[in-house]
Structure formats: C-alpha cells, structure tokens
Chains A and B, each alone.
Chain A
Amino acid sequence: MRKVFLLYQNEMGKTVRKVSILVAMILMFVFIGGCALTYKGVESFTSYYWQDYGHVSDEFKKDAEAAEAEAVRLRAVLQTLDPETDKDSFAEYADQYLDNLTDQTRAQLLARLYRTAAEAITRRNYSYDSIFETMNDRIYDTFYYNNAPVETMEALKAEEHRIVADTNMLNAELDQLEYVFLGASFREMLDRRQELLESSGTADGSYAIYKEVYGWLDKYADKVDVSASDYILAQADNYVSNRMALNAQTEDQPDQQGVSFSAEKLEKEIALQEYALKHGTVIGDAERANSPVQNRSIMNQLCNTGTYIVIALVIMLAGSAISSEMNNSSIKSLIIAPVRRGKIFAAKGLALLTVQTALLLFSYLLSLLFTGMLFGFRNFGTVVYYAFGAAHGMPYLAAAILSMLLDGLAIGLFAALALALSSLTHNTAVSVTLPLLGIFGGLLAELIMLLGGGRPYIAALLPIHNLANLHRITGVPSIFEVFNSEYGADAAVTPLFSWIYVILLLTALVWCAYDAFCRKDIT
C-alpha cells in the first residue's frame, strides 16, 4: 500500500500540473463571461419591464383623465335631457356615459395595476407576468359585457352602482395583489386570507381544510421568506384543491386535462405539499426573484455547467492517462520502478478519482460563490421529496452534494471507459473522442439538425443542457429520479437491477483497463 501511495503522490503531481492551466483558463472564461452575461441579462430584463409597464401605466392614466372629462361632459348633457320626452337621445347618451364610465374606471384600474407591477419589478427585480395577466384579463372580462340600453334614470343609477361595485371588488383584489407585489409580510398575508375565509365561509367543504392549512402555516409565518410567501399560499390553495379533488374523484374519472385520475399520485403530491406547508418551504423549481428557489435554479445551472467542464477534463485526463505515457515513453520510468504494474494502475486510478472529486467539489463551491455574489448569500431552503411511502426534506446544499456524487459516479463510468480505451489502444485521440461523443453526441446531433432547421443553433453549443443522457447510458440515477421517485416502482428497471448494472459496467471497464495495462508488452 505504501508504494501505491507513493506512486499516487507522483500521479497527483503530474495530473495536477496537467490540469491546472486548463482549469485556470476555463475559470477565467466562466467567471468573466458568466458575470457579464448574468449582470447584463438581469439589467436588461428589469429595465425592459419597468419601462414597458411604466409607459403603459402613463397611457392608461391619460385615457382615464380623458374619459373622466368626457364623463363630466356627458353627465352635464344628460341632466339637460328629459328621459320621457327625449327618450331616444337620453338612451343614447346614457349608454355613452356608462361606456365612458366603464372605460374610465377600467383605465384607472389598469393604470394602478401597471404602476404597481412596475414598482414591484423595480423593487424586486422580477416580473409577475402570470399574476399581472390574470388581473388584466379579469378587468377586461368584468367590464366587457353586453349591456342593455338604459332607458330611465333608475336604470342608469343601478348600472352606475353595479359598475362601482365591480370596481370596488377589483380594487379589493388589487389591494391583495399589492400585498404580493410590494412585499407584505407572510403573516399579514396569512391574516388577511384568514379574515376573508372567515367572513365568506365556504359551501364546498374546503373551509375545514383551509383552517387546518392556515394552522400549519401560522407556526412558520415569521420564518418564511416574504418573497416566497405568495408561492406558499398558492401552494396552500393547490393543496386544498387536491384534497377536495381526492374527496370528490374516483379512480375511473379522468381529470380536467383528460388524464386518468390516480389517487396514489395525488396522495403523493398531497404528502409533498403537506410536508412543504408544514415546514414552511417551497416545492418545485419555479424561477422567482430573491427566493430560495431562484438561488437553487441559478446554482443548478452553474453546477451543471461546471459538471460539463469536469466531464471534459476528466475524460481528457483518463483518456490520456496511459496512452500519452505510452506514446511519449515516460511509462518506462514507471515500469523500471520496483512496483508491480497493478500498483501503478491503482495509483493512476486513485489519482483520477481524486482529481475528479476535487474538480466537482471545486465546481460546486464555485457555483455557490457565484450564486451568492450575484443574488446574495441566503438560505437555499429545503428540497422536498417522496420516498419510502412518505415525504422527506433535505437541505438543498446537501441535495446538491448528493447530486454531485451521483453525477460523479456517472462521469466515473465514462472516465473508466476512456481509461480502458487508453489502455487497450494506446491512442489518446480515440480514448478521449469516443467517450466525449457518448456524452455530447446528443448535443452534436441536435446541432446538426438545427443547422437545417433555421433555429438559433448556437444555443445547442451552450453547455447548459441536461445531464439525462449521462445517467441514462450509465444507469446511475440522477438526483431528479431519486427525488421524484421515478427511480422507484414507476421506473422501467428496478433500483437493484440498475445498481447491479452500474457495478458490473464499472468492474468490466476497470478490469479491461487493468488487464490491458498489466499484460500488454511495452515495445
């Protein structure tokens, strides 16, 4: 063992020297490029929406002012008309007046909505597109209905009253929205919702469930990050809907999307949501500003990019580990040392493993650093997953390390392939190219297809893609498979079979490399 350790020290010295310049270059590139692009991206994204919403808000304000002036004029005209004698004229002006009133209130509401959105974007660096669109649609829906002609002052007053009532309702919703946009505390939002719930009452049986959920959330109200609060509340709504669906539906009934209802699936989802709600955390990978999930999303992207770089480096190192020494004959100085070839091989393998792990860890720490530098060092929250019949939580950073280890195992299999090829062929080009093609071949194929498709094919060159192929080929489950339980009863192969496959594959590749290295003549 001592000799293996001494050889290992030698191998580490050589490998680190080989890899250091390359890593330094890549780091510089990633750091400068990544920071510049991210900064530019965030800046342009924010300013675009701010200008857009600010401008739209000003336009609506002008519309509202014009409509108000017109309403004043029309009301003055109406007051001069007698509905009995000038029936047709009155009805015509009354309709004009009501339309104008509708336009005016709609424009005022829209101006307020856009202003709120624009301010929120500035304050929070994020566009609440979906909420904004929803509110916008509701404003339009509320005011665009077929209105019967107004023929009397009573009817006119009733319509005015209805429009005002609609406006008040929308204003109340906007108030609610402002809580979200302008960052009310989670407790405030929760209290408000509880008040609404208690005042409205529910006929569909959801009241009890809501009360239960708010009870859970109350314990965590002071701990929840305000930026995640609206999503937790959305999650609560979703949870209640799910519980209601589970109560109402049966296995045979397809849901609204036509997908067969599965009580098991829903129960799993409920278990996950229940866990998340009880622990004040967030499920899913939605991208939102200043939330743990946004940081996770950025961290995931950076980690993936880092992993691709590590794959390329490790395969280059493994593919050249034996063949380059054979080609430049430096292997001779190792062979004449008083150690068996098996030990030399073991030292090389250990050195590769160490370098790969160190590079992955380095990439992970670098991703953490970049994420913190760009979006602030904050709590990354908990990843919720379903396994062994119950929902569990794992701190995101621990999950990221687990993901790194799983990726590392998959990369290790490709590195073993490169090492085996290097040992069998003594040809570095073949040993490096074939494994790289195995991983990046899909991207290459996509690029070739895109070249004919007229899409922005340059995107295919970006390393940020998914690592699914790496895991699919090697049989090593990805973190998503582990967390989403896809790598369980639902998987095509059982975990046991999959792990046997991984171990056999790794053993076969390492044995090939070992056997060729130890038994081949060095001529």
Chain B
Amino acid sequence: METVLEVKQLNKSFRNHHVIRDVSFEVYAGEVFGFLGPNGAGKTTTIKMIMGFVFPDSGEITICGHSLSKEYEAAMQCVGGIVESPELYKNLSGIVNLKMYGRLHPGVTDERISEVVRLVGMENRAGEKVKKYSLGMKQRIGLAQGILHKPKLLILDEPTNGLDPAGIKELRTIIRETAAKENTAVFVSSHLLSEMEQMCDRVAIIDNGVIIGEKRVDELKTLGTGERYDYGVSDAAAAIALLNGLGLAAERIDPRNGLERITVQTEGARLPELTYKLLTAGIGVYTVSREENTLEDAFINLTGGGNIIA
C-alpha cells in the first residue's frame, strides 16, 4: 500500500508549552484516515504542521515521498484541504476564488472547476461573492478548492462544520468516492464520532499532544471491555451495589420510558445468573438488552472522557 503521508516524531512547543509530543503515523493511498481527539489535544496543530502553517520543532513530515521541509513545493503539490474553516477571499466570488487557487496548480482547467463546483452542489451560487455565503456553502467551496487539483492527500479539518444533515451525507459520499475512485488519501479530523465511524477506515486518537491509539475503525470498536448489557430495573442503586459486589463494572445510565437503567460489562453466558440474583434480591427487572460498543466507547475508554459529540 502506497504511503502518501508519513509523520515521524513530530514535536512542537508554544511558549514552553509542549503541545505535540513525538507524534507519528502514516496515511495510505485510497483510505480515509480519521484524526480524533478532545479539544486542545493537538489535532489542528498537527494538521497545520502538515500543511505548512506551523513549523515543527523537530520531526519529519513526508508527503508523497517528498520531505516537507526540504522539498516544500513538491510535497505541497500533492496536498489539498481545509484547515479549521475554509478561508476564502470574501469580496470575490466562489468561482474567482477557485480560479485564483487553480492558477497555482498546473492542469486545472475551467472544465475541472465546473466539475468540482457541480460535485459540491454549488453550481447555482458559485458566481456570488463569498461574503454572501452561509458557513455550509463556504465549506462546500472550500472542499471544491481542496479537491480541485486532484491531490493525492486531502486534508479536512472539521469538514462537517456548518453543514446540514443532507450536506453531511453528501460530504461523506464525496469523501468516500474521492478516496475510492481517485485513490486519494483523505485525512479527516472531526468531533462528530458517528460521522467518523461511517466515514473512516482508520482512526488515530490524540490526547494531550500524544497519539494514544491508531487502529482500523472495526478494530477500535472492540477496544471496549467485552460485551455490555443494559437493564431496566426498579431500583438502580440497589442493582449497582449488588453487581459491584459480584466484581462487575456496573453504572447508572439515562432512564428510558420511566424506567431506571443500568449498564454492566459482562459475558452473555452470565446473563441468566445475574438476572436471577437481581430478582431474588427484590429488584424488579423489566428489560434486558445487548448493546454494541461504539467508537465513542473506545474513544472515552482511551482518553478517559473528552469533549466529544457523539
């Protein structure tokens, strides 16, 4: 598998605050790579270093085999993307912004510009000045700008910001198609874990400037501690005390349909025994359901809980 982005031992400090510590990962052609982490974890700083906004104190970034520090232009020729939010010239129209950007990349034709404008669904508004655009429209033009020159590495920092549900779905489709059809490596950071679950092939999780896990999405989901069952009970506190007494991890979760609920990490084989013990202890059991571990579970499990939105 062709390595498009290789990050090795990146370090960065701002005013003696060490924000990125020995960050290393690789992104391959044709995959969508998710970059997850709570606020302030160092996601955007890492992206800014990859895109040349911020200079690393140490470490090496290689894009398409070109060192960013030594062969900047060759490396950046392979990159397209959005950092934080799409930054466009507000007094110019979307199409002029795209033309200005396209001028710097050989081979970008007017037809290609029209194609990407259609792809992001902006064909009717691209002639208007950017200052009249909503955030979602700016995101679309930003994405169009990012994929305009068919980069081998597409970097998208929080790309779903400002998009409505339909827009998010379209974006997901565009990203997946871009990765699949053009064999582009897509590097996405986002707080929307559910989207990342559906969008990404692999995910790296960063916390306090350190990569704490890097797995395929399906592998990461299994990082939860075994199977999990939710009980609808008459007395949640008594049930938690009983289960904890048996050496199981149990905790209260949000009530549903007027029922108090708890969740417990256990194996399916022990389910009859536990249910019997709850009942004999005088605790009413109304519902029992098996729950899937999600990326969120894995994320919380790895980071110890952070500012994420499921």
Interface 1/0 per residue, A310-340 and B, CB below 8 Å: 0000000000000000001111110111111
Closest partner residue, chain A, to B146 (CB atom): A336
Q: Is B76 an interface residue (CB 8 A)?
A: yes
Query: Given the interface contacts A7-B104, A522-B54, A523-B53, does A336 sit within 8 Å of B81 by beta carbon?
Result: yes
With both chains docked as a complex, state the minimum distance between the C-beta of B215 and any C-beta of chain A, in angstroms: 29
Contact of B87 with A331 in the complex, beta carbons under 8 Å? yes
Q: Is the CB of B52 within 8 A of A336?
A: yes
Interface presence of B105 (CB below 8 A): yes
A residues engaging B (CB < 8 A)? 3, 6-7, 9-10, 13-14, 17-18, 328-333, 335-340, 519, 521-523
Given A3-B104, A336-B76; 11 other pairs, CB 8 A cutoff: A6-B104, A10-B104, A14-B92, A329-B85, A331-B87, A332-B87, A333-B88, A333-B97, A335-B52, A336-B81, A521-B53
Can you give 10 contacting A-B residue pairs, CB < 8 Å? A9-B103, A10-B100, A329-B85, A330-B88, A333-B97, A333-B145, A336-B51, A337-B104, A337-B105, A521-B48
User: At the interface, is chain A mostly helix, strand, loop or mixed?
Assistant: helix
CB contact between B103 and one of A6, A329, A335 (< 8 Å): that residue: A6
Chain B residues whose CB sits within 8 angstroms of the CB of A523 once the complex forms: 14, 48, 53-54
Q: What is the size category of the interface that chain B forms with chain A?
A: 20 to 34
Complex-state Cα separation, A291 to B202, whole angstroms:
83
| Cα–Cα, bound, A333→B103 (Å) | 12
- The CA-CA distance from A521 to B52 in the complex, in Å, is 9
Quote the shortest CB–CB distance from A360 to chain B (angstroms): 25
The reply to whether B100 and A13 form a contact with Cβ atoms under 8 Å apart is: yes
Chain B residues, Cβ within 8 Å of A340: 72-73
User: Does chain A have a CB within 8 A of B196?
Assistant: no
Across the two chains, which residue of chain A brings its CB closest to B79?
A336
Query: Which one of B75, B77, B89 contacts A330 once the chains associate, using CB atoms below 8 Å?
Result: B89
A17 touches B103 (CB 8 A): no
Asked whether B90 is an interface residue with its Cβ less than 8 Å from the other chain, the reply is: yes
Note all chain A residues with C-beta closer than 8 A to B58: none
Question: Does the CB pair A339–B89 fall under 8 Å?
Answer: no
A110 vs chain B, min Cβ distance (A): 68
Bound complex: CA A10 to CA B80 (Å): 18
> Can you list, as one digit per residue, whether each of B46-73 has a CB less than 8 Å from chain A (1) or not (0)?
0010011111000000000000000011
CB pair A336–B54 under 8 Å, yes or no, is no
Most buried by A among B81, B87, B105: B87
In the assembled complex, the Cα of A490 lies from the Cα of B306 at a distance in Å of 75
Bound form: Cα–Cα A523–B84 in Å = 11
Please state if B90 and A332 are interface contacts (CB–CB under 8 Å). no
Contacts of A521 in B (CB 8 A): 48, 53-55
B229 at the interface (CB under 8 A from A): no
Contact A336/B83 with A14-B89, A328-B90 known, Cβ cut-off 8 Å: yes
In the complex, the answer to whether B101 meets A333 with C-beta atoms within 8 Å is yes
Neighbouring A residues of B52 by C-beta, 8 Å: 335-336
Provide the residues of chain A in CB contact with B96, threshold 8 Å.
13
Return chain A residues, CB-CB under 8 Å to B88.
Answer: 330, 333
CB contacts (< 8 Å) of A519 on chain B: these are 55
Q: How far is the CB of B188 from chain A (nearest CB, A)?
A: 16
Q: Which residues of B contact A338 (CB under 8 A)?
A: 72-77, 79, 104-105
Instruction: List 4 A-B pairs, minimum CB-CB distance, nearest first.
Output: A338-B76, A329-B87, A338-B77, A522-B53
Contact A337 B76 (CB under 8 A): yes
Tell me the bound Cα distance from A339 to B88 in angstroms.
18
Which residues from B are CB-within-8-Å of A328? 87, 90
B36 CB, min distance to chain A CBs, angstroms: 21
| CB closest residue in chain B, given A9 | B103
Chain A, Cβ-Cβ closest to B72: A340
Interface centre among A333, A340, A522 (most CB of B within 10 A): A333
Closest residue on chain A to residue B142 by CB atoms: A333
Given the interface pairs A6-B104, A17-B92, A328-B90, the reply to whether A335 lies near B55 with Cβ below 8 Å is: no
B103 lies within 8 A of A332 (CB): no
Does B173 count as interface, using CB distance less than 8 angstroms?
A: no
Q: Which residues of B contact A14 (CB under 8 A)?
A: 89, 92
- Closest Cβ of chain B: how far from A350's Cβ, in Å? 16
Counting chain A CB atoms within 10 Å of each CB, the highest count among B75, B81, B100 belongs to B100
A337 to chain B, nearest CB (A): 4
Report the minimum CB–CB distance from A431 to chain B (whole Å).
19
- State whether the Cβ of B91 lies closer than 8 Å to any Cβ in chain A: yes
Whole-angstrom distance between the alpha carbons of A7 and B145 in the complex?
Answer: 16
Across the interface, do A332 and B104 meet the contact criterion of CB distance under 8 Å? Answer: no
Tell me whether A17 and B53 are in contact (CB under 8 A): no
Interface digits, B133-157 against A, CB 8 Å rule (1 contact, 0 not)?
A: 0000000000001000000000000
CB distance from A459 to the nearest CB of B (A): 37
A344 to B284 alpha-carbon distance, docked (Å): 71
Q: How far is the CA of A328 from the CA of B81 in the complex (A)?
A: 18
Given known pairs A332-B87, A521-B54, the reply for A337 and B101 (CB within 8 Å) is: yes
Complex Cα distance A331/B48, Å?
Answer: 13
In the bound complex, residues from chain B placing their C-beta under 8 Å from that of A7 are 104
Complex CA–CA separation, A337 to B108 (angstroms): 13
Minimum CB–CB distance from A207 to chain B (whole Å) comes to 74
